[in-house]
Structure 1
Amino acid sequence: MREPTDFASKPDIVIGTTDYERLEGLASSFETRLPSVTEDLLTELSRARLVPDGALPADSVRMGSVVRFRTDATDEKTLQLVFPGDADIANGRISILTPIGTALIGLSAGQSITWCANDGRRHRLTVVSVSQPPLVGGGLELQCLDRG
């Protein structure tokens, strides 16, 4: 059983309305297959401050963002937050439907959050920087990242 969520100990997050709507639908469609992950995603969505897409701060993690972060278990990593069909960890693209992907959504540079890994261990994650990929053909261009 998962620990109860304490909103007071979590950082404020902001999500654009388009991401919110798409993520809420995604969570609903995966609810029976990945109940704990979708529960975590829905919890994050419920506590987020919603803003129009154009009002999102440039350093807020949204779908397609390239995020540099560090955890208590690893050195700095750079990953792009993507929808499940675009996930490819070997090329630096992580699904929103992973514990770390869900933890990242809505955070801004400098914020930290505690998240629970698939093995049940809790970790602390701190966002170092966030960049947004250029829009290409009405969608986000996925980037291959050098994880050097």
Structure 2
Amino acid sequence: MTLDSTAVLTTRTLTELDHARLTKYADGLPASAIQSVLDNAELVAPSEIAGDVVTMRSRVQVVAPTGDRERRTLTLSYPLDADPSTGCISVLSPVGTALLGLRVGDMANWVAPDGSGGQLQVAAIAYQPEASGEHLL
């Protein structure tokens, strides 16, 4: 399979609702990293997702594995809500796809379409809709 960006193809945990919504986005795309994540996902009900899993609309604190390790906050967003200048990144971006379904402590790895790569560690989840009782957002 040829991917325009690559996220590590390990099993991720996704809510059934996130999976259903993201499948609609992925259906219109050529082979993509998000489709690989969806195809390999372990699905759980929104009310049963662990609080340390990155879900849609989660606000995640990440650190680079090298350098100053300063925490940055990113919010995993649907494409129409993405605004990188405010830290809202699209789930369809290489970084967003790499973060989806990871747990605190996991490493997100990706390769962008231009061939550059990156890596961020999930340091904490500052907000997860499901952990806050917001299961249908």
TM-score by length of 2: 0.80
State the alpha-carbon separation in 1 of the partners of residues 48 and 103 from structure 2. 14
Give 1:92 shift: 1.6
- Which residue of the other structure, out of 76, 79, 87, is the alignment partner of 2:74? 79
State the alpha-carbon separation in 1 of the partners of residues 8 and 56 from structure 2. 24
- 1:86-105 map, 5 Å: 86-105=81-100
Give 1:70 shift: 1.8
Is 1:54 equivalent to 2:53 in the alignment?
A: no
Q: Percent identity?
A: 32
TM-score by length of 1: 0.75
The runs of 5 or more residues in structure 2 that have no matched partner are none
The runs of 5 or more residues in structure 1 that have no matched partner are 140-148
Give 1:135 shift: 6.8
**Which residue pairs with 2:16 in the alignment?**
17
State the alpha-carbon separation in 2 of the partners of residues 110 and 92 from structure 1. 20
Question: Aligned to 1:115, what secondary structure does the other structure show?
Answer: strand
Give RMSD over aligned pairs.
2.6
What amino acid is aligned across from residue 65 of structure 1 in structure 2? Answer: S
Give 1:118 shift: 3.4
What amino acid is aligned across from residue 85 of structure 1 in structure 2? Answer: L
Is 1:121 equivalent to 2:119 in the alignment?
A: no
**Which residue pairs with 1:143 in the alignment?**
none
Kindly provide the CA deviation profile for residues 41-79 of structure 1, in whole angstroms up to 9, marking residues without a partner as x. 010111111111111011111110001112357743211
**Which residue pairs with 1:146 in the alignment?**
none
Larger helix fraction of residues: 1
Higher relative contact order (CA 8 A, sep 6+): 2
Give 1:122 shift: 2.5
State the alpha-carbon separation in 1 of the partners of residues 65 and 113 from structure 2. 16
